[in-house]
Amino acid sequence: MLAKLHNIVSDFRLRLGRGWGHITVMHMLTDFGLSVKPDIHLVRAARQLGLVEGLRPVSSPNEPEALAIVTAIVRVVQAVYGNEASFAKLRYTDKMLMEASRKEII
């Protein structure tokens, strides 16, 4: 799935048109359990936890950075849950990291 995510994001951006950037598309894909929303909070969490090397301190990552964040979070979920990893656990992890960042825990 991760290998295809770039193509999926690019395809949706083209099909959906104006106003649908990579972050908006990835946000939509969270509802399908296929991604996480690489917003300001996940950027902060990924940077603070050292999940993505060389991540710039910005609130809106470019597409390669956003894909790296998604990949890192998926790998964390796989490492923590192993065979029990699921779309629901990916979404839960996304939400927990977002809340931890929002509350300035990380």
In tens, the pLDDT along 5-63 reads 888 888 999 999 999 999 999 888 888 877 888 889 999 999 999 999 988 888 889 99
Asked whether residue 2 carries a pLDDT value surpassing 80, the answer given is no
Contact between 8 and 18 (Cβ < 8 Å): no
Give the model's pLDDT for residue 1: 60
Asked whether residue 77 carries a pLDDT value surpassing 90, the answer given is yes
47-79 residues labelled b (16+ CB within 10 A) or e (exposed): beeebbeebeeeeebebebbbbbbbbbbebbee
Locate the domains of the chain by residue range. Answer: 2-102
Q: Mean pLDDT lowest for which of 13-17, 57-61, 67-71, 90-94?
A: 57-61
